[in-house]
Amino acid sequence: MRIDTQETGNGNQPTPSERDLSTPSGERGRRSIGSMQLMGWVAPLLLASSLLLGAVGPSGFVTAQTPGNAGRSTRARNPLAPEVAIGLEVATMLAETIGLCENPEWEQRLTDVGYRVASVAMDEDLPYNFRILDLPEPNAMALPGGFIFVTRGMFETGIPDDELAHLIGHEIGHVHREHFTRTSRLNTLISVLKTALAVGIMIGAPDTHSYERVEMADDPGLRNWSVGMTGKSALLQGTSIMGSVLHALFQRGYSRKLEFEADEMGHRLAVRAGYPPEAGVAMLLRLRERSYEGNRFGYWRTHPFFDDRLARAKSRLTHLSPPETPPDDSEYRQHLALYFASMAAKLPDEKQALYFYRCALQAEPYRFASLAMALKLIRFKKEREEQKHPLERHTGPLIADYDSLIAQATRIKSDWAHLAAARQERATLEESREQLLSEYMTNLEGQDSSTSCLERFLVNYPDHARTLEMTCLLGLHYQLSGRADEAVCVLQPLLAQDTSAVWADSARVIIGKSIREIEDMVVCCRLWSTFKSQGDSLLTGAASDRMDKLSSADLTLKDGGSFVQNCPETPWTTLVQNKTRERAGRMLENGLVQEGLHRYQDALNAYFAILALAPESPAASRAEICIDRIHRLEGTEN
C-alpha cells in the first residue's frame, strides 16, 4: 500500500485517499500475509487489554479501511492498516506506562536522522515515526507499523548522528522484515504492558484535572511541540516498579538470524542516507563500552551476538559508499505529516489521535509548517470539546494552548497567515468562558453543587479570586464521598506558607479527617514523610496511626508491591515486604496451575505481575524460569 493524502475542499483538514491501506505494492507484496499472521494471535490480546481498562475501545476491533468495505458498518472502525493499528495501540500504552522524554534537542536529532534514513527505505506503506522513551538504560526497539523507540539512556551515551543512523536503520530493518511475525516478542510486550497499566492505575496519583497540553519551545530554532499529559499519565514514571516492567519488556532478544538481517539492512539504509559505513562499527563498539552486558535492560541483553555482528559489520565497510549529496527527505516528511494529521482526525480513540498529531508535528520538515500543524491539533481538541455541554468543556487548557501557539508564532513569524485566525479563535474561547462564569457560580453556590462542576471550574478558571475557596470545597467533596486519597492530594498544596491562613487552616482540618480514611499506603506514607519534615506533629501522628492500621491488614500483591518499591525505607517496609513475598508465592502457585492447564497467557500474566511487584522475592526468580519455559514451548522464534 501507499500512504496517500489529499487536501479537502476547505483547505484545512487533509484526508487520505480511498486507496486500500493494506494493499501491498512492489517488493512489499508479502506484507498482507504477514499482517494476517500478526492479527491472528495479537487481536485477542488487544481486546483483553481494552477489557482490562474498563471498556472495549475501538482499537480492540481492528479493521483496515479499503474501497471494498468503505460503505459497510462495523462495530468500531479503525481507519488504519492492521499492523499500524497494532503498533499505535502498543505505542500509546508505552507512552502511558513508561513515559516519553521531552528533550527538544534530542527529539529534533532523532526525527531528522530517523526520517532521513527512513526516506531511503522505500517503505511507502509504513508511516515511520520516532520517539524517545524516558528510560535510563541505553536501548532501542521497534513495533509493527513503523513505530521506533530509542531510550533516553542511548542519547546519554553521547551517540553522534552517524552512529544513531545505523542504530535506527537496524530497527527499521526489524520492521521492514516483519520480524514481529517471526517471534513471540509482541505477545510478551502486550502482556507486560497490560500488567503495567493495571498496576499503574492503582498507584497513579489521583488527579481529576488530567488534560492534554500543547507547549512550544522558547527557542525559535527548536521544533519542540510538546503534547503531554498531567495526572494519571506516564503512570509508572518516577517509580521503581518501572524497572521490573522493563525486565519483562526487554528480556528477550531476536535470534541470531534476525539480528543479522536487521544489521545488514540497517547498514545499507544508513549509508544510502549519506552516513559513513564506519559509523556502524563505531556504534557497536560504543555500545559495547558504554552498556554493561550484565545489565538486565541493556542493549546487549536484547541485541546479542556482539562478536559475530562486529565481524560482519567490518566486512561490509568496502561494499557501499555514501552518496556525494545526502538525500532530500522534505517531500517524504511532508507526505507523512499529512498522513498522520489526516488519520488523527479519523481515529475514534483520543489518546491515539493525539499520538498521531504529535507524529505529524515532528514529521513536518519546516517549523512554519509546524505552526499550522500545531493549530490543527488545537482545533482538533477544540472540536471534540465543542461536542460536550458548555459547562462540561475544558476551555481553560485550550486557551492556554492558543496562548502558547500565538506567543511562538509572534516570535518566529509575526506575519504568519493564520496568526490572526488563531487570535480570533482564542478570543472567542475567552468570551465563551466569561459568559459561562455566572452560570458556574450559580451552580457552585447552590446546595446541590456537584464535584464535577468544581473540578471543571478549577480547570477553566485557575486564576479566579475564589480558586482557593473552591479548592477547599472540592477537597471536602472528595472527603465526604469516600475519596480521601484525592482529597489529600488536592488540598496539600494549600498548606504552603504563601496560602491565605483561612484556607490553609480549612485544608488542614479536612486533611486531618481524610487521613483516617486513606486506603493507599503510598499516599499515606508520603504524607507522613512530608508532615514529619515540616514538623507538623499532629498530622504526622495521624498519618503514622493510619499506616500502622493499613500495613497490619491483609494486603494484595499490588498494594504491597507498589508500597515496597515506592517507600523502601520506612518503619513499615519490612512488614509489608514479608507480606508481599508471601502473596508472590501464592501468585506463583496460581501461575503454575494455569500453566499446567495449558492456559499460558494467564500463567504469563501471573508471572509478569510477580516480576513487576515483587522483583526481589524468591518467587520472582522462579517466575523468570517459568516465562522462559513458556516461550520455548511457543516455538515461534527462528
Residues 542 and 590 in one domain: no
For 580-610, how does the pLDDT look when each residue is reduced to its tens digit (9 = 90+)? 999 999 999 999 999 999 888 788 778 878 8
Per-residue pLDDT at 447: 67
Residues 585 and 512 in one domain: no
Task: Find out whether 80 and 73 touch, Cβ atoms under 8 Å.
Answer: no
Kindly give, in sequence order, each residue whose CB lies less than 8 Å from that of residue 86, ignoring residues fewer than 6 positions away. Answer: 38, 39, 42, 46, 62, 143, 144, 145, 186
Grade residue 497 by pLDDT with cuts at 50, 70 and 90. low
Between 200-204, 267-271, 285-289, 506-510, the lowest mean confidence (pLDDT) is in 200-204
C-alpha–C-alpha distance, residues 279 and 285, integer Å: 10
For residue 158, the surrounding DSSP H or E stretch is none
For 149-167, how does the pLDDT look when each residue is reduced to its tens digit (9 = 90+)? 998 888 988 899 999 999 9
Per-residue pLDDT at 118: 95
Cell 542493549 belongs to which residue?
299
Q: What is the number of structural domains in the chain?
A: 2
How many angstroms separate the Cα of 389 from the Cα of each of 38, 91, 353, 436, 439?
41, 31, 22, 11, 13
pLDDT at 33 > cutoff 80: no
What cell numbers appear for 290 in the block?
558504554
Residues facing 5 on adjacent strands: 16
For 360-378, how does the pLDDT look when each residue is reduced to its tens digit (9 = 90+)? 888 876 655 678 878 888 8
Position with higher pLDDT, 561 vs 200 = 561
Residues 532 and 577 in one domain: no
- With pLDDT > 70 as the criterion, what percentage of the chain qualifies? 70
What cell numbers appear for 338 in the block?
499529512
Kindly give, in sequence order, each residue whose CB lies less than 8 Å from that of residue 188, ignoring residues fewer than 6 positions away. Answer: 248, 249, 251, 252, 604, 631
DSSP string, 202-222: HHS---TT--EEEE--SSTTS
Q: Which of 42-56, 179-193, 202-216, 218-232 has the highest mean pLDDT?
A: 179-193
60 in a structural domain: no
What cell numbers appear for 505 in the block?
487552616
Residues 536 and 473 in one domain: yes
Domain stops at, among 506, 524, 553? 553
Per-residue pLDDT at 58: 30
610 in a structural domain: yes
472 in a structural domain: yes
Per-residue pLDDT at 114: 96
Residues 589 and 548 in one domain: no
Residues 499 and 532 in one domain: yes
630 in a structural domain: yes
579 in a structural domain: yes
Per-residue pLDDT at 195: 56
C-alpha–C-alpha distance, residues 191 and 615, integer Å: 17
pLDDT at 434 > cutoff 60: yes
pLDDT at 544 > cutoff 70: yes
Residue 469 lies in domain: 465-553
**pTM (2 d.p.):** 0.60
Average pLDDT, the chain: 75
Three-state secondary-structure class, residue 5: strand
497 in a structural domain: yes
Residues 544 and 588 in one domain: no
Task: Specify the DSSP class assigned to residue 553.
Answer: S
C-alpha–C-alpha distance, residues 511 and 526, integer Å: 13
Kindly give, in sequence order, each residue whose CB lies less than 8 Å from that of residue 114, ignoring residues fewer than 6 positions away. Answer: 128, 130, 148, 168
Task: Find out whether 351 and 232 touch, Cβ atoms under 8 Å.
Answer: no
Torsions phi, psi for 517 (to 5 deg): -115, 0
Residues facing 541 on adjacent strands: none
Task: Find out whether 614 and 637 touch, Cβ atoms under 8 Å.
Answer: no
Task: Find out whether 562 and 609 touch, Cβ atoms under 8 Å.
Answer: no
Q: What is the 3-state secondary structure (H, E, C) of 329-351?
A: CHHHHHHHHHHHHHHHHHCCCHH
186 in a structural domain: no
Grade residue 25 by pLDDT with cuts at 50, 70 and 90. very low
C-alpha–C-alpha distance, residues 542 and 532, integer Å: 11
pLDDT at 530 > cutoff 50: yes
Residues 470 and 545 in one domain: yes
pLDDT at 227 > cutoff 50: no
For 127-153, how does the pLDDT look when each residue is reduced to its tens digit (9 = 90+)? 999 999 887 777 888 888 999 999 888
User: What's the start-to-end Cα distance of the chain, in Å?
Assistant: 27
Task: Specify the DSSP class assigned to residue 100.
Answer: B
Residues 528 and 472 in one domain: yes
611 in a structural domain: yes
DSSP string, 575-595: HHHHHHHHHHHHHHHHHHHHH
Task: Specify the DSSP class assigned to residue 352.
Answer: H
Residues 549 and 577 in one domain: no
Per-residue pLDDT at 93: 81
